[in-house]
């Protein structure tokens, strides 16, 4: 009995699908466009943020520090 249950699953023939690849072209085109746009926008955003950060750090490096508040010089003995 166990032998029949074990062999029953292997005795069936596997048939290919009746209509393979009916809408594969449209599906591949849709996935290609979706992935292309996703990668394009991701790279554009990445480059934009990289450029923004680079320019910000360049500006912070080149900007001059504000002048200190002038403090009058007081020598000893003067009020």
Count the domains in the chain.
Answer: 1
Report if residue 37 sits inside a domain. yes
Residue 20, pLDDT score: 60
Alpha carbon distance 38, 32 (integer Å): 10
Report if residue 5 sits inside a domain. no
Report if residue 55 sits inside a domain. yes
Span 26-51, average pLDDT? 87
- What would the pLDDT profile of 41-68 be if each residue is shown by its tens digit? 888 888 888 888 888 888 777 766 666 6
* pTM of the full structure: 0.38
DSSP-assigned states of every residue in 10-41: HHSPPPPPSSTTSSHHHHHHHHHHHHHHHHHH
Average pLDDT of every residue of the chain? 74
Q: Note down the domain range covering 45.
A: 25-62
Report if residue 31 sits inside a domain. yes
Report if residue 76 sits inside a domain. no
40-57 burial: b if 16+ Cβ within 10 Å, else e: eeeeeeeeeeeeeeeeee
């Amino acid at each position: 009995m166990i032998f029949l249950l074990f062999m029953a699953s292997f005795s069936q023939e596997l048939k290919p699908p009746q209509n393979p690849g009916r809408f594969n072209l449209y599906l591949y085109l849709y996935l290609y466009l979706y992935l292309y746009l996703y990668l394009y926008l991701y790279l554009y955003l990445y480059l934009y943020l990289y450029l923004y950060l680079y320019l910000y750090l360049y500006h912070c490096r080149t900007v001059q520090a504000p002048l200190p508040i002038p403090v009058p010089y007081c020598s000893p003995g003067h009020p």
